Amino acid sequence: MVVDRGKVRILGTPTEEQWPGVTLLHDWHTYPKWEPQNLARTVPTLGPDRVDLLTKMLKYNPAERISAKVALGHPYFDSLDKSQF
């Protein structure tokens, strides 16, 4: 696992509770303990729907991330013409 320190400083250092098995990944090593930041404060230009969708997309554990299909049903995309999907 290649860790982007910029992302980790925003999302917080991943833990075994958040992502079972993370410390067993090939490139894992002990990282500084960063606490997750509030995305609404980190990127103040995002509205509530964008923050919610981004939060669901940026889960460390891949099994917990929102799928593309489910994401299309998110309120952020309500203004899209989804008939072609």
- Segment 16-29, tens digit of pLDDT: 998 999 989 888 88
Distance CA 45, CA 13 (A): 24
Domain boundaries, the chain: 1-37, 38-85
- Segment 21-50, tens digit of pLDDT: 998 988 888 888 999 999 999 999 999 999
With cut-offs at 50, 70 and 90, classify the pLDDT of residue 3: low
What residue spans of 1-85 are helical by DSSP H?
5-11, 39-42, 48-57, 68-72
